[in-house]
Structure 1
Amino acid sequence: MTLAKPGNLGFCPRRLERIRPALERHIADDKLPGIVTLLARDGKVVQHEAYGGLHRGHSEPMTTDAIFRLYSMTKPITCVALMVLYEQGHFQLTDPAAKFISKFDDLKVAVEADQELVLEDLASPVTIHQLLTHTSGLSYSFSEYGSVEEGYRTARVCADQPLGDFIAALLEQPLAFQPGTRWRYSFSNDVVARLVEVISGLRFDDYLREHIFEPLRMNDTDFFVPEEKHHRFTSMYGSGDILAPDVPVSRLLDDLGAGVNIQLAGPDDCLEASPHDIMRGGHGLVSTAADYLRFCSMLLNGGVLDGTRVLGRKTVELMTVNHIASELLPLDEEGIPQPGVGYGLGFGVMMDVAQAGSIGSNGEYYWSGAASTSFWIDPVEMLVGIQLTQFQPSGAFTNAADFKVAAYQAMVD
């Protein structure tokens, strides 16, 4: 991967220099360990830099080929995997999930009435579309909306176990609301990964390698980092792991406020340090900025990259528009409204930059990860932005937003 001249892609070289100080101010022993950023326009890389170090207290500088835990930046890849099977005619988006996972037929919905928990029957089946859009009624164990999330934590449904066992344990719990009646960030995309396994007959990691990673030559992307690449694998820091089975998000925020900032995982002592069978669709992949660019470029090009087609153009268009009904907007993330944005099939979608208060373009699609990773794809400007670091909880620092502002202010044509 080579850098193009910024002026040839509509960027001012002097303004691009503002990216480094905007990111480096977030790097310190009590802040982020290091960051990698990448900007590409019209299929050419205009900026790709590393800041800080791979680890705290060591001499190894951060490198542009460093490997990061993606966390929820796994979700778009998972949803693309299922949509490949959609294109092959295996299902319709409106099909019930129970067509492939029978336990969905037995689900109940938790309703709190008069300080008591009542279990209701499903008013309608959970559909595949609802799993792709986080409107299924599932939730996350770190969320604190009510009794369902408490039940997840008590049952430790997020404990490390194979994907099929995890989904079975998850579906022992009631839904938080009737399917299709709310948007709530959730384990839904983990179920999407299980659908990929059931429909394809392959383990999820094998399916991703065969149908996405190898065709796109994403050679550093997987659920683990081989030992010969550990020298490029970053350490993760923060106040705690948001996906610990019994940890609510308020505990991470309280500990962060109290100054807790410790190493959560190193390159040799974490799940991803060796092959394992704890695959998930909502998190778990490791990758580099260059690899993730290849995935994003495939989407920006309408489903094809270097002559290899992963999806059809109309499927990409379907995935990257808002699917959330107006009465369910604005999106709610842990009780905080998110105006101006919607959600597609695995991506957030910018609907109104003014309401969102975010520089960019209407129609861009994006997502981020729990360890403060982020990306966006802007079809209007033919621009991809990727920012990778390793700190939990996400949002503790404004590194992602600062990178986006610095990127767009450098665009002059």
Structure 2
Amino acid sequence: MPSSQSLSPSSASPEQVGMSTTALARVEAHLKQRYVDAGRLPGTRLLVYRRGEIVHSTAQGFADVERKAPVKDDTIFRIYSMTKPITTVAFMMLVEEGRVALDEPVHKYIPEWANLGVFQAGVTAPFLTKPPARPMQIIDLLRHTSGLTYGFQQRTNVDAAYRALKIGEVEKSGTLTSMISDLAKIPLEFSPGDAWNYSVSTDVVGYLIEKIAGKPFEQFLQERIFDPLGMTDTNFFVPSDKAHRFAACYAADGKGGLTLQDDPATSSFLSPPSMISGGGGLCSTTADYLTFCRALLNGGALGDVRLLSPKTIALMTSNHLPGGRDLTEMSKSMFSEASYAGIGFGLGFSVTMNPAKTMIPGSAGEYAWGGAASTAFWIDPAEQLIAIFMTQLLPSSTYPIRRELRTMIYSAITDSNV
């Protein structure tokens, strides 16, 4: 049955929900001294939610350093790959409706991929390939075992081919349809299911949603997730009446400082994109993303809005890597800033399997992901905890912020559900 929780969250002191005000203040001091005041980050927005209450919500530093515009509660950030969980939830709605199944071959919906081979040799097309051990299944897209890749990894001749065709870049080009056509020209990096590799798979999921639902992907998200949940600041572009709230994006300069990467006054995000990226195209606020996370933590519903069944959420947040392996055993990706030990992958999220192996405080069953501009979130059902962190610094591997936040926020818990 739908939750009685309101769409608008209430607030409480940390002590009311078993957390420490002093320890949470220490997190903010760490961010301010180590990152913001040191010029390593432009500004930060941190939100901690436990047992149905917001217990910590702070903003510091600048959303736009050049214009001295401060980070505010309603600042709009590029969330990049934090788009992926939203896209995956949308797809699982279609699964729940019986319109598609996880074990179906992808070429059922993308016929031009029926003969995709696995790379053997070659620098440019035509590549030497071999047939995959089995066809790519839809579940391979959701758990990144598809054999697809990202060009920015710069590991192989396959991702070089992605770069040549501008597939999956931070600044998206082309359209969903042109991306699918371009991917038909490039071999897979490995046979589906044989490895884990961070990739454009979730962009492909957006394309499948469009084909199966019979409407534009962005329209499906608007009608089925954003409008029902009141996520009014989440979109693939920032409209003109909200442009003053849009943060600048920076790149690490290699010397501990910042270089402006995307000016919010001239950004491509100010107009609707041609490429609607389910893997990394959304902008959002901490408030909107908290609403989405609360629905997941609450078993797929918030208020009288139900996105998914609790059983579907449980399926999505289980480890789906073949053989129950973790990412250290399966990952070919150059993506992560930290060890993947003890971490598996579900449908749209990383999943903590063994906290001791991660060497970071946490809980088995915690699920999470982050974005290219150093944004991050995690949801811990055991502790009824959500943490959301926003900033705008590329790449996300520049500093170990996510590891530090996990350590310090879990250290603020003074009692436990476990």
Calculate the TM-score normalised by the size of structure 2. Answer: 0.90
Instruction: Answer yes or no: is the 8 Å Cα contact 2:118–2:130 preserved in 1.
Output: yes
1:216 lines up with 2:229 in the alignment: yes
Match of 1:14 among 10, 13, 22: 22
Matches within 5 A, 1:3-402: 3-24=11-32, 25-28=34-37, 30-112=39-121, 118-158=128-168, 160-239=173-252, 256-257=253-254, 261-326=258-323, 329=326, 330=328, 331-332=330-331, 333-334=333-334, 338-402=340-404
Runs (4+) of structure 1 moved beyond 4 Å?
none
After TM superposition, give the deviation of residue 58 of structure 1 in Å. Answer: 2.8
Q: Aligned partner of 1:148: which letter?
A: V
Q: Deviations over 1:227-250 (max 9, x none)?
A: 1111111000004xxxxxxxxxxx
Unaligned runs of 5+ in 2: 1-8
Instruction: Answer yes or no: is the 8 Å Cα contact 2:79–2:284 preserved in 1.
Output: yes
Partners of 2:207 and 2:383 lie apart in 1 by 35
Q: Deviations over 1:204-241 (max 9, x none)?
A: 111100001111111110101111111111000004xx
1:409 lines up with 2:393 in the alignment: no
Instruction: Answer yes or no: is the 8 Å Cα contact 2:36–2:61 preserved in 1.
Output: yes
Partners of 1:260 and 1:388 lie apart in 2 by 18
Q: Secondary structure at the match of 2:244?
A: helix
Partners of 2:26 and 2:301 lie apart in 1 by 33
Instruction: Answer yes or no: is the 8 Å Cα contact 1:26–1:397 preserved in 2.
Output: no
The number of equivalent residue pairs is: 395
Q: 1:335 to 1:142 in 2, by over 3 A?
A: closer
Q: Secondary structure at the match of 1:384?
A: strand
Partners of 1:325 and 1:400 lie apart in 2 by 26
Partners of 2:322 and 2:37 lie apart in 1 by 43
After TM superposition, give the deviation of residue 28 of structure 1 in Å. Answer: 4.2
Deviates more, 1:3-12 or 1:149-158: 149-158
Partners of 1:200 and 1:125 lie apart in 2 by 23
Deviates more, 1:319-328 or 1:223-232: 319-328
Q: Deviations over 1:173-213 (max 9, x none)?
A: 11011111111111111100000000001111111000011
Partners of 2:69 and 2:158 lie apart in 1 by 44
Unaligned runs of 5+ in 1: 240-255
Q: Aligned partner of 1:104: which letter?
A: W
Q: Aligned partner of 1:301: which letter?
A: N
Aligned residues: CA RMSD: 1.9
After TM superposition, give the deviation of residue 85 of structure 1 in Å. Answer: 0.3
Q: 1:378 to 1:327 in 2, by over 3 A?
A: closer
Instruction: Answer yes or no: is the 8 Å Cα contact 2:79–2:280 preserved in 1.
Output: yes
Instruction: Answer yes or no: is the 8 Å Cα contact 1:341–1:352 preserved in 2.
Output: yes
Partners of 1:161 and 1:107 lie apart in 2 by 21
